[in-house]
């Protein structure tokens, strides 16, 4: 880049809790090129609760966003449209040279569409994941984003294969590894220093952790009740800590679930935790029950048995290589797998390739080559 030329502007888009974990290593790596790149953090406000947003920024050492769109909680269509409108206005004013989106939330697809229609190139971090279940809103977001984006950064080899099968040109695809693991590795000292076990009076490997947030599990009594019934059985063997997503907290208060919830006497339902506290809690659990794709990845890296409360997953590498087992939401199946783990038969796995803490650096290197051609590292 010639002296005096304006630095290329990069917008990093975050909106929901999983994005914050993914953006942190990419932000740090791009800021390492601050003499050549102008990096801006844009928060859509898709998750706006302090426990779902502010504490993660603090824990992951991410600065306050340069722009906050304040969209808030709306229906899928209304939220996607509001994010597109707000980000379009921002992008028309600032004209970024690249918009970087993360994961598969509504903010991901909305900002991709807004940027691409303005002729702004888009990079997608965590591209190529597929559950092949179009009833999942996240699957729609993933597919649309991948087919619009110009740079596709994948976390695993299966993601590359999905993109190739869908006709994505090979020069757009970059296998870089898993940015969520970058955040875990970078935060290891803070995670190990967390006193969450002491605060909750827990002994290592003497408790289980449960999380639930997917609409397919929590939005209807007939899908949530079987999972709660499984927790009712498992609690007889081991106490369960249940950091509850706001969506799940609202559903647990439903009239039809009141009697069942009252029987969860050894299930401790708590507020969502800060990142380091939560990872510490998971790392010392004997068992994790979850419908979160990110937690499937974290338990695989941490070698903690994971019962995945879903019928399919966009992260099959956590099953083929890792510690995850798919069980759906059938009570008997969940209890049977949990009993097997608690009896010492938990699945052990290996860490997938390039889940090494350096994915963010690889992404930054590709972006710098793309956005400042001819400039050496």
- Judging by DSSP bridges, how do beta strands 324-326 and 306-308 pair with one another? parallel
Please calculate the CA angle 154-160-163 and round it to the nearest 5 degrees. Answer: 105
Pairwise CA distance, residues 134 & 99, whole Å: 26
Please report, for residues 265, 325, 338, the alpha-carbon distance to residue 290 in angstroms, rounded to integers and kept in the order given: 19, 10, 12
Output Rg (C-alpha) for the chain, integer angstroms: 21
Pairwise CA distance, residues 182 & 297, whole Å: 12
Pairwise CA distance, residues 142 & 350, whole Å: 26
Our answer to whether residue 147 is catalytic in this structure is: no
Please provide residue 206's backbone torsions phi and psi, each rounded to the nearest 5 degrees: -120, 25
Residue 302 near residue 178 (C-beta atoms within 8 A): no
Q: Of 324, 332, 330, which Cα lies nearest the Cα of 303?
A: 324
Pairwise CA distance, residues 296 & 288, whole Å: 9
Residue 345 has a CB neighbour count (10 Å cut-off) of 10
Q: Of the residues 213, 245, 321, 358, which is catalytic?
A: 213
Residue 187 near residue 222 (C-beta atoms within 8 A): no
Pairwise CA distance, residues 147 & 4, whole Å: 36
Pairwise CA distance, residues 314 & 327, whole Å: 15
What string of DSSP letters covers 6-43? PPPEEEEEE-SHHHHHHHHHHHHHHHTTTTT-EEEEEE
Element (H, E) at 324: strand 324-326
Indicate the SS3 state at residue 325.
strand
Residues classed as catalytic: 213
């Amino acid at each position: 880049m010639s002296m005096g030329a304006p630095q290329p502007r990069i917008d990093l888009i975050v909106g929901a809790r999983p994005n914050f974990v993914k953006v942190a290593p990419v932000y740090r790596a791009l800021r390492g090129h601050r003499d050549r790149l102008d990096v801006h953090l844009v928060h859509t406000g898709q998750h706006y609760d302090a426990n779902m947003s502010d504490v993660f920024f603090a824990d992951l050492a991410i600065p306050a966003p340069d722009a906050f769109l304040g969209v808030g909680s709306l229906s899928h269509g209304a939220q996607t449209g509001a994010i597109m409108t707000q980000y379009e206005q921002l992008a028309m004013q600032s004209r970024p040279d690249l918009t970087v989106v993360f994961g598969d939330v509504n903010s991901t697809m909305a900002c991709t569409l807004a940027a691409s229609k303005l002729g702004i190139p888009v990079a997608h971090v965590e591209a190529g994941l597929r559950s092949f279940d179009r009833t999942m809103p996240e699957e729609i977001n993933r597919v649309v984003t991948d087919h619009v984006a110009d740079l596709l950064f994948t976390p695993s080899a299966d993601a590359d294969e999905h993109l190739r099968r869908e006709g994505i040109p090979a020069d757009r695809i970059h296998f870089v590894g898993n940015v969520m693991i970058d955040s875990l590795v970078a935060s290891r000292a803070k995670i190990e220093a967390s006193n969450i076990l002491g605060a909750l009076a827990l002994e290592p490997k003497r408790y289980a952790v449960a999380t639930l947030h997917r609409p397919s599990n929590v939005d209807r009594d007939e899908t949530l009740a079987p999972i709660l019934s499984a927790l009712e059985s498992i609690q007889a063997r081991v106490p369960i800590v249940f950091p509850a997503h706001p969506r799940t907290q609202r559903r647990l208060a439903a009239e039809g679930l009141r009697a069942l919830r009252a029987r969860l006497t050894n299930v401790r339902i708590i507020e969502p935790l800060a990142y380091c506290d939560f990872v510490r809690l998971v790392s010392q659990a004997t068992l994790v029950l979850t419908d979160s794709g990110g937690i499937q990845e974290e338990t695989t890296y941490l070698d903690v048995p994971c019962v995945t409360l879903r019928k399919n997953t966009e992260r099959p590498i956590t099953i083929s290589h890792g510690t995850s087992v798919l069980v759906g939401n059938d009570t008997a199946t969940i209890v049977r797998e949990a009993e097997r783990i608690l009896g010492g038969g938990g699945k052990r796995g290996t860490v997938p390739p390039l889940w090494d803490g350096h994915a963010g650096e690889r992404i930054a290197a590709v972006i710098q080559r793309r956005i400042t051609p001819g400039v050496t590292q």
